[in-house]
Amino acid sequence: MTPERKERIIKVLNHRQPDLTVVMENVMDPHNIAAVMRTCDSVGIQEIFVLNTMIARHKKFGKKSSASAAGWLTIHQFDNTEECMKAVKAKYKNVYATHLGEKAVSLYELNLSEPVALVFGNEHAGITEECLKYCDGNFIIPQVGMVKSLNISVACAVTLYEVYRQREKNGNYSGAARLPSEQYNTLADQWGLLEDAE
């Protein structure tokens, strides 16, 4: 590993946000899944939850390459809503769903510097009722145009970059490691940072 690459990997590790995650519930299109993962990596998310109650378990996540964002994320796969959402709630204080419910607020009204899990649903059906039961609130991305149709990859990017904006202001991306040391060391090992020391 070159010193430049080592430095880059350490920088990425030091920007990872332990208190930020995404849950994809029954997101079907592999392009959407890949785009969401790229944005997660871009804003420093380390672990994501992939919940599938409608389709077979995604097999392709097995093929992790360093060129794809999936290779740098910790992906938890579930096929049971209760198990998945209980695991999410145990770790993240606020669970918000992109869902046009009765009490939906604008994305820009949310405090996203606090520990948060953001839930995105199926491209057509949205988030299931069962999954919504575990969410603390619903939010929408404001739209003032004729065609109401932000793609999930676009909606996710707009949401995660609002998280980034708020947290950057908050000093969360100062470069001081935020991951718990055990998780930090495990990733450092997986990502080859400890090889020189062996």
**Site for its own copies, rule CB under 8 A:** 8-9, 11-12, 15, 35, 38-44, 66-69, 71-72, 108, 141-151, 153-154, 157-158, 161-162, 164-165, 168, 173
Q: What is the DSSP string of 95-127?
A: EEEE---TT-EEGGGS--SSSEEEEE-BTTTBS
Q: How far apart are CA 123 and CA 152, in angstroms?
A: 7
Hey, what amino acid is at 90? A
The neighbouring-strand residues paired with 21 are 117
**Cα within 13 Å of Cα(11), Cβ side:** 7
* Nearest to its own copies of 133, 165 (CB atom): 165
Question: Do 96 and 117 meet the contact criterion of CB atoms below 8 Å apart?
Answer: yes
Question: Considering the complex, what minimum distance in angstroms separates the CB of residue 166 from its own copies?
Answer: 10
* Nearest to its own copies of 42, 80 (CB atom): 42
Q: How far apart are CA 73 and CA 34, in angstroms?
A: 11
* Nearest to its own copies of 72, 134 (CB atom): 72
* Nearest to its own copies of 114, 162 (CB atom): 162
Question: Considering the complex, what minimum distance in angstroms separates the CB of residue 42 from its own copies?
Answer: 4
Question: Considering the complex, what minimum distance in angstroms separates the CB of residue 80 from its own copies?
Answer: 29
